[in-house]
Chain A
């Protein structure tokens, strides 16, 4: 199979960088249904996947797209889909099945704002849906939140390795800004999917010969087996939490006020931290990179020595609940945010942080 054609260092839109990162990560199967603001991703795959010898298919619905991903994943090959909030809601059935059948794949959600139809305005309203389940049953997704175009490319590439290491679906959760913004990006080295080993559990002729049949099942036949399946899943999630929790700590070493934010809100908060430091306030930023597993330990450790946390997110307050839980009541937790397209400015963030410290009224 031919490899990607794009120069290793180039200027790209976030959605396109993610698509190129996935191609370089060995993804050769994409299924999706158009929805703004992620259409560049779908269109990039439509052009470039066939050139790499892969399969692009525009499906009749998001339900079909995620089920086709399920089919490819059951053969042990690298497949992905992408969508935006209402489309991801339709995919939840398939995502729950992927989690239960322990199938690796990449799901991208470039979110819209608000429940229902929403608009294509930047928002982070799908945090709960991404990290608390979304579909039915007790399951978790590994959720990566990129802060810019470089991470869109890098995370797409890494997602397949993570997914295969744990036989679990991985989600990249970005908002309209990271999808639409352009930045220079250094693209990851391509992986040749032909060189990846055949999964021992995969179905299909290509994974032959082997002595026994392989089954990809969402549920076993008996209650004890079902109980065991659930226990095994929880044990796997525990291992993932131990090994794969990722976060970025920016100027937190001596911080008395720590801002907690993910994705584009973290990028804006980083500027607020610098401006607060210029004003003599010891501010820092903790950015969860994996929204699940959540960096609980890092927050717990900070909660013993900071004067407060300020959670900044572009929704009506979702991650703030996790930060409250991790702060164990030892530090006050403030919130700055809003749904429906609210994008906080660094000045607003700094002002709120100061007011929490008793400096300036908000």
Chain B
């Protein structure tokens, strides 16, 4: 038997502090593999956010800095400007990046900061117990809108990958999912491109990863995989929206 992928070297070995069926473990592993492949562990700096993604520093064995809710890309801007040789990336959820931190997100992208964004979109506020996010689907039930999201009252889901792709400062913007082996491989390539956008092109790169939160969706892990296909992808199409 041939070993295709081993355990990434830049994982700490600490257990993943995530719920069964959550995709954070897969996404963090893809980031870890990319850091190994690019050989950047010694110069990578991860900016963690608030919410479930706050725990990512326990798993990746690289420098990390914990910013306030939504401010990840402002913190990343400061780190990158002060230490241009570093490879700086944020690891953010939808509440963090698209709700409280939308201003910081848009302006860092518009400035074309040479940083990378790993954006985990599970359409809900996970850590706080399943409240509505800017990416919550129409009709989707959450703890704050138990009758389902109604556009007349709460507006429409925000498509971050397309929105950022419209800004000239953005070098790479893509949306991927990790709910099948083929998609995981595609996601891996996108993560790599988002890092290379920073390293080779000195540009802003973002990967939006559609991700399951079975606990708050009140679905089994397997049902949640299907929910991504049936409900999420029609609203959030996969693809590359910017590549310069």
Contact = CB atoms under 8 A, between A and B. Distances in A.
Interface of A: 29, 31, 55, 57, 59-61, 63-65, 67-75, 77, 79, 93-94, 97, 101, 203-209, 213-219, 221
Contacts of B183: none
Contacts of B106: 60
A74 B75 contact: yes
17 contacts: A29-B81, A64-B71, A64-B104, A68-B77, A68-B78, A70-B65, A70-B74, A71-B47, A73-B78, A75-B82, A93-B71, A97-B67, A203-B45, A203-B86, A204-B83, A205-B83, A215-B64
A79 B67 contact: no
A64 to B, nearest CB: 4
A205 B66 contact: no
A203 B65 CA distance: 8
Interface string B54-94: 01011001111111100100111111111101110000000
B103 A71 contact: no
Given A64-B104, A94-B71, A219-B66, A70 B78 contact: yes
B43 interface: yes
Contacts of A75: 78-79, 82-83, 86
Interface string B98-138: 00000110110000000000000000000000000000000
B51 to A, nearest CB: 13
B42 interface: yes
Contacts of A217: 57, 64, 66
Contacts of B57: 215, 217
Contact of A59 (B42, B62, B74): B74
A71 B77 contact: yes
A55 B81 contact: yes
Contact of B71 (A67, A205, A213): A67
Contacts of A205: 42-43, 45, 83, 85-87
A77 B81 CA distance: 11
Contact of B75 (A61, A71, A207, A208): A71
B71 A204 contact: no
Nearest to B74: A67
For the complex of A and B, the 10 pairs showing the least CB-CB separation, nearest first, are: A71-B78, A204-B83, A67-B74, A205-B43, A67-B71, A68-B78, A205-B85, A203-B63, A71-B75, A60-B107
A204 B74 contact: no
Classify chain B: how many residues form its interface, as a range: 20 to 34
Contacts of B43: 204-205, 208
Contacts of B63: 203-204, 213-215
A74 B42 contact: no
Contact of B78 (A74, A206, A213): A74
B62 to A, nearest CB: 6
B78 A204 contact: no
A69 B68 contact: no
Nearest to A60: B107
A70 B75 CA distance: 6
A218 B71 CA distance: 13
B68 to A, nearest CB: 5
A54 to B, nearest CB: 10
Nearest to B70: A63
Interface string B197-210: 00000000000000
Contact of A204 (B55, B68, B86): B86
Given A70-B68, A205-B42, 13 more contacts: A60-B107, A63-B71, A64-B71, A67-B71, A68-B75, A68-B81, A70-B71, A70-B74, A71-B80, A203-B86, A206-B83, A207-B83, A215-B66
B158 to A, nearest CB: 18
A307 to B, nearest CB: 49
Given A64-B103, A67-B67, A79 B82 contact: yes
Given A64-B107, A216-B65, A71 B82 contact: yes
A94 B57 CA distance: 20
A216 B75 CA distance: 12
Nearest to B47: A71
B45 A101 contact: no
A55 B45 CA distance: 20
A208 B62 CA distance: 12
Contact of A57 (B81, B83, B104): B81
A239 to B, nearest CB: 25
Given A71-B75, A213-B63, A215-B63, A63 B82 contact: no
